[in-house]
Amino acid sequence: MDVSHLLDDLNKPQREAVSAATTPTLVLAGAGSGKTRVLVHRIAWLIQVEQFSPFSILAVTFTNKAAAEMRARIEQLLGTPMGGMWVGTFHSLSHRLLRRHWQEAGLPQLFQIIDSDDQLRLVKRVSRNLGLEEANWPARQSQWFINARKDNGERPEHIEDKGDPQTSQLRAIYEAYEAACKQAGVVDFAELLLRSLELLRDNPELLAQYRQRFRHLLVDEFQDTNTLQYGWLRLIAGDTTPPFAVGDDDQSIYGWRGAKIENIQNFSKDFHSTNIIRLEQNYRSSGNILEAANALIDNNQGRLGKNLWTDSGQGELIHLYAAHDENDEARYVTSRIRQWVEQGNNHQECAILYRSNAQSRVFESQLIEAGIPYRVYGGQRFFERAEIKDALAYLRLSANRHDDPSFDRVINQPPRGIGDKTVSVIRDHARDSGTSLWQAATALLEMNHFTARASNAITGFTQLIADISIDISGLPLEEQVDKTIRASQLKQHYLHKEKGDKGEARVENLNELVSAAQGFIYKPEDEHANMDFLSAFLSHASLEAGDSQTKAGNDCAQLMTLHSAKGLEFPLVFLVGLEEGLFPSQQSSEELNRMEEERRLCYVGITRAEKQLVISYAEQRRLYGTTHYGVPSRFIHEIPDRLVEPVRPKPSRPSWSASGYNTPTTSHIKQDTGGLSIGQSVSHKKFGNGIITDTEGSGSHARVQVNFEDAGSKWLVLTYANLSPL
C-alpha cells in the first residue's frame, strides 16, 4: 500500500509516532513541533494502513474548535467523511454517552444542560432556601466549591468536614444543589464528566461494551488533564485499549484550575511498556529563541526531558530592555511596534504578553496616544472591566448625586439588601416626578414608603455616598480613588464573589486604578479645562473606555496574558514585566511547584515568538496602587548572556537558588552604603538576620536588598533600615 501521503511530509520522530505499534504511547510534543499534524496522521494511519474502522477510534481534545479542525483535516487527508468516529472534548463525549444511556445514568430522557450563569442562579436559590445570606455565603464561592469537588470526582457524601463548619455548610449547599438539579432534570458541565464516569464504572457490562468498541484512544494536550479527566481516560482504556497521548510537561500551566502535571509525569508508571517519543524539531522560532527557552526550562526538576531545535538558523538575539518605570517600558514597546510597521510589517504580527491583566492599562494608554490599533485578546480593556466601572461609578456619584447610570449601577453593588423591586419603585418615582434617582430615593424615604429593612438599606447607601464625598474632599487624586474603593468594600466583595485567581485579578485591577490616578496628568489647556482633578480623571476614563478597541480580524497589535497566549504565535513578541514578585509572582516564591509552573509559563511566552523576542522589566513600577523597586526576574538570569543583547545595560547577575538569591561569589563595597558590602551578613530588628544581595542609589536614596532567612528578599532604604553588621 502506498502510504507516502501519510509520511512524506513528516520528520523522523513524527513518522515514528504516526506509525507506532499499538502499545501505550506518550508523544512529548515540544512547542511548535507539529503535534496536531501527528495526531491527524496517526488517526489516518490507523484507518488506512492498520485497517481499523473509524467507529473504533476515540479522540479527545480540549476545545470544540480543535475537535472540528482535527475531524476536517482527517477527512481531507483520507478524502472521505468520518461520521462514525468519536472526536470531541471531554464534555461533548460525556454528553454523547449520557444521551445514549440516560436510564442507566439515572437521568430523564430529555435532561437539559445548564451553563455557568444558570448554575449560579440555581446555587443562589438553594442557598436562600437554606436560609443563608448572600453576604456570608456568596453563591460564586459555593459554585466554585461544587465544581472543584466534582472535578475531583467527589459527591457530597465523600467530603469530610473534619469539624470545619464552613466545609460542612458548603457540603450542605452541594447536597441541596444536587437535589434541585435532580428535581429540575438538569446537569451542569462538571456533572457531565462525573456522571459519565459513574455510568461506566457502575455498569460493568456497558464498560466492557465500550472497551470492546474503542480499540484506540487518542488524547491531545494531555498535560492539561485534571483528576477526573484522567480517571475517565484510564477507565475507558482499561487493559485493552492502549492510549496514545500527546502533550508537553513543559507547557503545563493550568495547575490553578485543576490540571495535574503528575498525570503526564506518571503516564509510563500507570501504563506499562510505554513508548515515549520526543518531537523536538521546532518549526516556529529561531535558534536563539529556542536556546533561551531550553536554558530556562532546564531549571525545573522532574522534567521528562527534551531539547527544542530548528534548522532555520539562529536569528536575532533577544533584546532586553531595562525600563526606568512602567511608562518608560510601555513607551519603548510602542516605539518598537511603530518601527516594525514602518518596516512594512503588520500590527497584528506583534503581541504584548504580561503576567497580570492589570498590566494592560499602561500599554493601552500609550498605544491610544500613539494611534496604534490594538485588541485585548480574550478580555476587556482596563476601563471597561466591571470592577473598574463599579469604582468609577462610586466616584462619579460622590461628585454628582444626579448621575443616574452610576446610581443604578452601585445602589446594590456590593449587595446591601436592596432588591430589584425596590429599585423599580425608585425608577418609577423618578420618571413620574421628573427627578433624578437620588432625589426619588430620598423623597420616598421621607414619605416612609419602604419597609423598615429596605429603608435602612437605602439610608445606609445614601449615607455612604455622602461620607465618601466628605472624606475625599481636598485629597490628592490617588487618595480619593483609594479611599473610595476602600469605603465601597468592592475588594472584599469580589474576593468573596469570585474565589481564587478571578477574584484576586479584580482586586489587582482595583489597585491598579489607584496607580492610574497617581499617574494621571492634568492638562488645563486640553478638554479638561475648568475641571477639578477628579472630574478630569473621570472624563479621561470615559474617553478611554468609549474609544472602543479594534475588532477581531482587523490589523491590530495583540495584548494578552501569558495564559491566553498558549497555542498562538507571533513574529514579534514583547514579554514584559519580568521582575521578582510580578513574574514570577510573589506567591509562587514560597512553593517549588508553583515556581516551576511560573517558569513553564515563561517558557510558553518565549516560545510564542517566531523572529524577534523583546524582554523588559522596570527598575521602578507603580502597580496595584503601590510603588515597587524592581529586581530583574530570575528568569532573565536563567537565559545565557550570549543570547541576550541589552538595549540598556542591565545590572550584575546574582545567582539563584530555589528559595531566592545565593550569596554572590564575589563581594565588593559600593559607595554610599555606610560601609556595608554585597554578601555581608546583617541583622534587622523586625526581619531578623539576612545577607545583602544588591545595592542601588546614592546619598539619602541609597537602598540595599537583603535576603532575610525568615522574611525573604526585601529592599530597604539605608537611612531608615538601621542594619547591624554581623
Question: Is residue 33 part of an annotated ligand binding site?
Answer: yes
CA distance 572 to 349: 6
Say whether 220 is catalytic. yes
Question: Is residue 36 part of an annotated ligand binding site?
Answer: yes
The alpha-helical segments, DSSP class H, found in 130-260 are 139-151, 165-184, 189-201, 204-213, 227-237
Say whether 404 is catalytic. no
Question: Is residue 30 part of an annotated ligand binding site?
Answer: yes
Q: Which residue of the set 251, 281, 612, 673 is catalytic?
A: 251
Question: Is residue 675 part of an annotated ligand binding site?
Answer: no
Concatenate the DSSP letters of all residues of 593-623 into one string. HHHHHHHHHHHHHHTTEEEEEEEEEESEEEE
CA distance 6 to 49: 10
Say whether 439 is catalytic. no
Say whether 714 is catalytic. no
Question: Is residue 35 part of an annotated ligand binding site?
Answer: yes
Q: Which residue has the cell 466591571?
A: 386
Beta strand 688-696 pairing with 557-561:
unpaired
Say whether 221 is catalytic. yes
CA distance 83 to 292: 44
Q: Which residue has the cell 480499540?
A: 215
Question: Is residue 167 part of an annotated ligand binding site?
Answer: no
DSSP letter at 220?
S
Q: Which residue of the set 154, 191, 221, 482 is catalytic?
A: 221
Q: Which residue of the set 15, 211, 608, 622 is catalytic?
A: 608
348 near 557, Cβ under 8 Å?
yes
Q: Which residue of the set 14, 25, 35, 498 is catalytic?
A: 35
CA distance 192 to 111: 11
Residue environment code for 635-654, b if the CB has 16+ CB neighbours within 10 A, otherwise e = bbbbbeeebbeeeeebeeeb
258 near 11, Cβ under 8 Å?
no
CA distance 10 to 31: 16
CA angle, residues 498, 142, 560, in degrees to nearest 5: 25
Say whether 326 is catalytic. no
For residue 111, what are the CA distances in angstroms to 95, 99, 143, 228, 370? 10, 8, 20, 22, 53
217 near 240, Cβ under 8 Å?
no
User: Which residues have a catalytic role annotated?
Assistant: 35-36, 220-221, 251, 608
Residue ranges at the known binding site for ATP: 29-36
Residue ranges at the known binding site: 29-36
